[in-house]
Structure 1
Amino acid sequence: MKGLFSALLVPFDEKGQVLEKGLRELVRYNIEVQKIDGLYVNGSSGENFMMSKEQKKQVFKIVSEEVNGEVPLIAQVGSINIDEAIELGKYATELGYDSLSAVTPFYYKFSFQEIKAYYESILKETGNTMLIYAIPSLTGVAMSMEQFDALFQNEKIIGVKFTDSNFFLLERLRRRFPHKLIYSGFDEMLIYGVVSGVDGAIGSTYNINGQRAKQIFDLCHKGQLKEAYAIQHTCNDLIERVLDLGIFATLKEILKVKGVEAGTVKSPMQALDESKRSEIEALVRTFDL
């Protein structure tokens, strides 16, 4: 379960329906071209929170079929509807997903005891393991060291997807929990996570830029930080342009240029303006994607 996981994008048609052929192509592209170590399915990058429960199940099933055991799979099932989270967790577990993940419940100001009960309920009902998905910038839930400690007492909670810029907390977690899995969640801060001792990384840009990200991992582990920083600079130049253009629509357009049927984004997100097509093609050439 260690290594680089793509936060898998999901191709949609103009009516918001999942493009099965495109999703299968995207899975193959991640495994065969980007050489990723695993897939994180139905996370933020998959536009999960705009999908129906049936669409989420559809994605879980297609990805499971296409991967067929080649790489580990993590199923993000988090929802503020606990019944949906449990149902999706059971479904992914039946399909053979290696672990579940769940974003902390959001929107309402849930207490820590409520958050803890949420994770415990999913684990009890599914029998699978769990990666906490900590992304305070979007959920408003910033857990403390003491709260992580309380959650990690449960052996079924095997780690965390740490999408946070609090590197002091990351260092403390790594030191206190050497046997828990910690994944870096910010692509633009990958090198800092690797230096801090993360076990892997989960990110959206790895769908198109996984090979460079893996180079950062390898160089850091060899102690070649100067070379790793040079690659991170290149990655961040790319990420900066992708963010300027609109991350998910831009990533899908880049994949289209590479021959993957990546579809479009799901409403209310907006597709990339066709006038920007030349900029996308220039990105592919400039960054040798």
Structure 2
Amino acid sequence: MKGLFTALMVSYDEEGNINEKGLREIIRYNIDVNRVDGLYVNGSTGENFMISTEEKKEIFRITKDEVKDRVKLIAQVGSVNLKEAIELAKYATDLGYDALSAVTPFYYKFDFEEIKHYYNSIINAVNNKMIIYSIPFLTGVNMSVTQFEELFENEKIIGVKFTAGDFYLLERMRRAFPDKLIYAGFDEMLLSAAVLGVDGAIGSTFNVNGERARQIFELAQQGKIAEAREIQHVTNDLITDVLDNGLYQTLKEILKEKGVDAGYCRQPMKKLSDEKIGIAKSIARKYW
């Protein structure tokens, strides 16, 4: 389960329906061109928190059907609705997903005992493994090394997607949990995380920038930090341009420039203006 996982984008049509043909094209592009080690399905990048339970199941089904066993698959099943999370965990496990992941429960200010109950309830309901999805800047949930240690007492919880800029905490966790999987979650900080010894990374920009991500990660593992830093510079220039133009919409337009039917984003995300579509096309030409 080590390596680089794309946080999979989903193609939706202009009415917000799942575009199965486009989704399959995105999947194939990630496997055949980006050559990632796996896909992280139904995370933030897939616009997961704006779709129904049945739509989530459909995305899990299509992805597994297209991938077969070519790469590893992680199913993000987290939800504030614990019953939904368990239902999705069972569904993805039955499909044959290699591991589950779940975002920390958000919006309500859950205490740690409630968070611990949430994870144990999901993973104890299925015969699978769990990767915690920690993204404090969106969920407001900050956990300490001691709290992660409590979660890891459940042997089925095998790691964490660490989407935070607290590299002191990351270093402490790597030191404390050498046998747990730690994935970097911020693409713009991949090199810094790789230097601290993460086992891999899960990134949204890997949908278009997987090759550079691979170079950064492998060069860091080889100790070629100066070379990796130059590629991280280029990657961060790309990320800056994409963020300035609209993250998910721009990534989808870049995929379209590469011949992939990436579709549109779900409302309330807005469509790009003609001007911003032009900027997205220029970004594609600039970096590829």
TM-score by length of 1: 0.99
The residue aligned with 1:218 is 218
Identity %: 62
Show the counterpart of 1:157: 157
Whether the aligned pair in 1 keeps the contact of 2:245 and 2:279 (CA below 8 Å) is no
Tell me the secondary structure at the aligned position of residue 125 of structure 2: helix
2:108 is the counterpart of 1:104: no
Is the Cα contact below 8 Å between 2:250 and 2:277 reproduced in 1?
no
Provide Cα deviations, 1:95-145, integer angstroms capped at 9, x if missing partner.
000000000000001010000000000011122110000000000000011
CA–CA distance in structure 2, aligned partners of residues 218 and 74 of structure 1: 22
Q: Which residue is 1:71 aligned to?
A: 71
- The Cα shift of 1:279 comes to 1.5
Aligned to 2:146: 146
2:5 aligned partner: 5
Q: Following the alignment from structure 1 to structure 2, what is the Cα–Cα distance between the partners of residues 236 and 40?
A: 22
Aligned position for 1:247? 247
| Cα separation, 2, equivalents of 1:238 and 1:188 | 10
Alignment of 1:15-164 (within 5 A): 15-164=15-164
Residue aligning to 1:209 = 209
Paired with 2:215 and 2:172, the residues of 1 have a C-alpha distance of: 26
Q: Is the 8 A contact 2:80 2:106 kept in 1?
A: yes
Shift >4 Å, 4+ stretches: none
Q: Secondary structure of 1:164's match?
A: coil
Q: Is the 8 A contact 2:45 2:204 kept in 1?
A: yes
Give the corresponding residue for 1:272. Answer: 272
For 2:271, the aligned partner's letter is A
Q: 1-side partners of 2:81 and 2:268: how far apart? A: 21
1:65-86 Cα distance to aligned partner (Å, 9 max, x none): 0000000000000001000000
How many residues matched?
Answer: 288
User: Aligned partners of 2:170 and 2:278: how far apart in 1?
Assistant: 40
Residue 237 of structure 1: aligned partner: 237
Give the distance between the partners of 2:237 and 2:249, measured in 1 at CA.
Answer: 18
**By how many angstroms is 1:277 displaced?**
2.5
Report the TM-score when normalising by structure 2: 0.99
- The superposition leaves residues 19-61 of structure 1 with CA deviations (integer Å, 9 ceiling, x where unpaired) of 0000000000000001111000000000000000010000000
- Aligned residues of 2:102 and 2:130 also touching (Cα < 8 A): yes
Deviation string 1:135-179 (CA, Å, 9 cap, x unpaired) is 000000000111001001111000000000110110011011101
Give me the whole-angstrom Cα distance separating, in 2, the residues matched to 1:191 and 1:128: 30
Q: Please give the secondary structure, in 2, of the residue aligned with 1:18.
A: coil
Distance 1:28 1:12 in 2: 16
RMSD of the alignment, in Å?
0.6
